[in-house]
């Protein structure tokens, strides 16, 4: 939340300065700053934060599954494999798994499914149950799963890079447009005082920031992720701990 507030204040400051420089009006500058910072605070930061956390959790699930399967192929113990794979969990999930000692190993693995919402994790849970019932070569049984997990992780990494590149290009275009406004302001300084008093010019100045703030919000909807940052994950952790504590 603190980072989100800092980014929003920085956005307010920059848009206020640009709005005031363009319009030569403090009220318009404040309005522009408010519009832009509101867009950043309510839409851009939460959705980008949710996207980042989803990517991190996907990678966490990928490492957990791979470590579990490799460890199981070596030692043949579900408990030891779970402990080994748990080393790749985030601190919040390590805290959760520490309270699962009274659960069966399959229940422990299934329990993490509420955090690992990837489709391959459901397949992983089912295949672990099949192996425990039937035995056999772990790597042969899990080969289709490992292939799907690797392909999913690779495709998502490529998608993340594409989204980051698109955001960089999008941000660069708006930065360039801001430089154009500053250049026009400085280039027309001789009669800018009279121009800035025009109602039409002031409306156009405000319209620029309305479009800019709206475009940032729209971009966050296109490439971001619906969520509330880390709050959802914390609620799951707290709910899980309460549920296990009641057993």
Helix (H, G, I), strand (E, B) or coil at 25: coil
The pLDDT of residue 173: 92
Q: What is the pLDDT of residues 16-66, one digit of tens each?
A: 998 888 887 888 889 988 988 999 998 899 999 888 888 888 888 888 999
Q: How far is Cα 52 from Cα 64, in angstroms, rounded to an integer?
A: 18
Q: What is the pLDDT of residues 89-116, one digit of tens each?
A: 888 888 888 887 788 888 888 888 888 8
Q: How far is Cα 134 from Cα 109, in angstroms, rounded to an integer?
A: 18
81, with CB counted inside 10 A (0-12, 13-18, 19+), is buried
Q: Which of 91, 134, 128 is nearest to 113 (CA)?
A: 128
161, with CB counted inside 10 A (0-12, 13-18, 19+), is exposed
Distance (Å) of CA 66 to CA 60, 131, 243: 10, 16, 28
Q: How far is Cα 40 from Cα 17, in angstroms, rounded to an integer?
A: 17
Q: How far is Cα 85 from Cα 64, in angstroms, rounded to an integer?
A: 5
Q: What is the pTM of this model?
A: 0.75
């Amino acid at each position: 939340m603190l980072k989100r507030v800092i980014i929003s204040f920085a956005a307010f400051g920059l848009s206020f300065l640009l709005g005031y420089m363009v319009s030569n009006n403090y009220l318009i500058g404040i309005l522009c700053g408010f519009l832009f910072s509101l867009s950043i605070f309510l839409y851009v930061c939460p959705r980008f934060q949710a996207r980042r956390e989803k990517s991190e959790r996907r990678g966490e699930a990928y490492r957990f599954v791979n470590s579990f399967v490799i460890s199981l192929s070596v030692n043949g113990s579900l408990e030891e494999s779970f402990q080994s794979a748990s080393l790749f969990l985030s601190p919040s999930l390590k805290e959760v798994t520490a309270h699962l000692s009274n659960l069966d190993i399959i229940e422990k693995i299934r329990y993490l499914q509420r955090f690992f919402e990837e489709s391959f994790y459901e397949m992983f849970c089912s295949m672990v149950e099949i192996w425990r019932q039937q035995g056999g070569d772990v790597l042969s049984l899990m080969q289709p799963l490992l292939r799907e997990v690797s392909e999913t992780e690779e495709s998502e990494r490529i998608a993340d890079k594409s989204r980051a590149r698109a955001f960089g290009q999008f941000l660069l275009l708006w930065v360039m447009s801001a430089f154009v406004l500053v250049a026009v302001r400085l280039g027309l300084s001789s009669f800018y005082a009279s121009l800035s008093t025009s109602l039409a010019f002031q409306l156009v100045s405000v319209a620029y920031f309305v479009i800019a703030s709206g475009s940032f919000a729209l971009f966050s909807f296109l490439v971001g992720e619906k969520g509330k940052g880390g709050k959802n994950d914390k609620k799951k952790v707290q709910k899980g701990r309460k549920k296990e504590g009641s057993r």
